[in-house]
């Protein structure tokens, strides 16, 4: 009985341990994608260019026309733009980050009614933290 209990404790410990030792890898991966998008801004100035951009990166994306967005807006889109929205789904490479935090970085490219880039928004599920009172120490989960 004690062996089974210890086996369960060890198994739970092994499952919970990896996200504590990412050393900021998940956040770095998100930051690298954000920096890449900033440096390649000229590649997706119009919705047509954005579609070509995601195709060239061999990345999954979704094109939302304004009326399509108003009818069935995805939950992670704050508001519909005056023009189309192109949402790219960049897969996360780090296995621990993919399992414990998020499996993709969502990139929303909002265009105005003339097809000009209006706003770029990058999203990834946030990491969690547990501040330890009286020790002035914080434990980060899948940072």
Domain boundaries, the chain: 23-141
Between 19 and 35, the more confident residue is 35
Residue 16: which pLDDT band, with cuts at 50, 70 and 90? Answer: low
pLDDT tens sequence across 73-87: 888 898 887 899 999
Q: Is 119 helix (H, G, I), strand (E, B) or coil?
A: strand
- Predicted confidence at residue 141, as pLDDT, reads 66
Segment among 13-22, 78-87, 90-99, 107-116 with least mean pLDDT: 13-22
Q: What share of the chain has pLDDT > 90, as a percent?
A: 53
- Predicted confidence at residue 105, as pLDDT, reads 96
* Tokens 């100035």 sit on residue: 45
- Predicted confidence at residue 15, as pLDDT, reads 65
């Amino acid at each position: 009985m004690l062996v089974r209990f210890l086996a369960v404790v060890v198994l739970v410990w092994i499952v919970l341990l990896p996200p504590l030792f990412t050393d900021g890898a998940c956040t770095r991966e998100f930051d690298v994608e954000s920096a890449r998008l900033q440096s390649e801004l000229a590649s997706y100035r119009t919705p047509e260019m954005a579609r070509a951009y995601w195709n060239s990166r061999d990345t999954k994306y979704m094109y939302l026309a304004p009326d399509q967005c108003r009818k069935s807006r995805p939950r992670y889109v704050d508001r519909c733009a005056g023009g189309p929205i192109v949402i790219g789904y960049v897969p996360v490479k780090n296995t621990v980050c993919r399992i414990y935090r998020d499996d993709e970085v969502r990139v929303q490219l909002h265009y105005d009614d003339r097809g000009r880039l209006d706003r770029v928004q990058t999203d990834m599920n946030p990491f969690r933290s547990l501040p330890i009172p009286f020790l002035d120490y914080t434990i980060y989960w899948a940072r």
